[in-house]
Amino acid sequence: MKVTFLVIASSLLFCCNSNAQTEKHLKNIHQLTYGADNAEAYFSYDDKCLSFQSNNNKWGASCDQIFSMRIDAAAKDTTYKPALISTGQGRTTCAYYLKDGKHILYASTHKGGIDCPPNPEPRTDHKYLWPIYATFDIFVADLSGKITKQLTDSPGYDAEATLSPDGKMIVFTSTRSGDLELWTMNVDGTNLKQVTNGLGYDGGAFFSPDGKKLVFRASRPTTDEDVKEYKELLAQNLVMPVKMEIYTCNVDGSDLKQITHLGKANWAPYYTPDGKKIIFSSNYDATKGFHFNLFTMNTDGSNIEKITEVSTFNAFPMFSRDGKKIVFSSNRNTHGKPGIDLFIADWVD
């Protein structure tokens, strides 16, 4: 799932320096959350609210749950408490507003059990794993938290759902074909179509502003050893996200292109509002493996520019519909304590 780098990032130290002055594309940065792990923040279609996931136990979350935040209120009040949208049971991920502004799409494990599912056991080689919980399904809830529709019910992982700009189509990641592939469906759950077919983890997909393309992260094991390890982990509902690159394709899966060849972990891609660039998170230039910054690049992977310089974790970027704001997660103000918070800034081209 897209949020799981939070576990790593929470253990990293904040390094305060003058690099904030070099973040020329980010102006008037405002912190929106204070404490715990907060991520996957996505704008409503009117740009006034954010849906996001948090494990803040002060808000009643024992593991990731979905919340809805009014941006103006959170920016003014450090004690602001957002509204809980998910059931408070199981674990949730990847919330996204529907175009009507009255409903939120998200994935949850609550039908598989009311308790938080367990985290993977640490490996002796210390390699990091993402859990791909087989009890994840995709739901729609209204803003009071009432589930109005269950969109998936097949065995296995169904999560990481986002909506097309016209509000008619959903892209998500599923194991229903035996591997972690991208699928699309209508907003009511009908007309299921498989998009990708390559062995490896395809996830975190978003539509281009014109709704014709998808951008996503993917792993592609190639050696016999890597293929064996990937398949063994997948059988345990696990993936190892240490090698991922950014890909694009048409919504039907055609014109598939790998646009980064950077090594390490490149993930959380999102199109700029004009569709001319992609912003993403990466540790490709880091001397320490878990130091992530935001970068932009052209849609063919050229002209990479570093956007953030502050702290050891910056990820989950999303632009407002009007292109004036960007929201992202960072540990820039944790001062060495565990946690990741949401920040919003004016975007300067």
Percent over 90 (pLDDT), the chain = 87
Per-residue pLDDT tens over the stretch 33-61: 999 999 999 999 999 999 999 999 999 99
Q: Report residue 289's pLDDT band, with 50, 70 and 90 as the boundaries.
A: low
Angle at the Cα of 73 from the Cα atoms of 68 and 79, rounded to 5 degrees: 90
* Contact by Cβ (8 Å): 292, 314: yes
- Any idea where the domains of the chain sit in the sequence? 38-280
Query: What pLDDT does 39 receive?
Result: 97
CATH annotation of 38-280: 2.120.10.30
List, in order, residues 6 or more apart from 76 with CB less than 8 Å away. none
What are the pLDDT digits (tens) for 300-338? 999 999 999 988 899 999 999 999 999 999 999 988 888
Q: pLDDT band at 159, cuts 50/70/90?
A: very high
- Around 329, how many Cα atoms within 13 Å sit in the side-chain half-sphere? 30
Question: Which pLDDT belongs to residue 29?
Answer: 96
The Cα 22–Cα 348 span in angstroms is: 13
* Integer-rounded Cα radius of gyration of the chain: 18
Identify whether the C-beta of residue 315 lies closer than 8 Å to the C-beta of residue 329.
Answer: yes
Whole-number pLDDT of residue 22: 84
pTM beyond cutoff 0.85: yes
Residue 98 has pLDDT above 80, yes or no: yes
pLDDT(163) > 70: yes
Q: How confident is the model at residue 160 (pLDDT cuts 50, 70, 90)?
A: very high
22, amino acid identity:
T
pLDDT at 21: 63
Residue 2: its pLDDT value, please?
47
Angle at 163 between CA 25 and CA 284, to 5 degrees: 45
Pick from 12-21, 33-42, 90-99, 304-313: least confident: 12-21
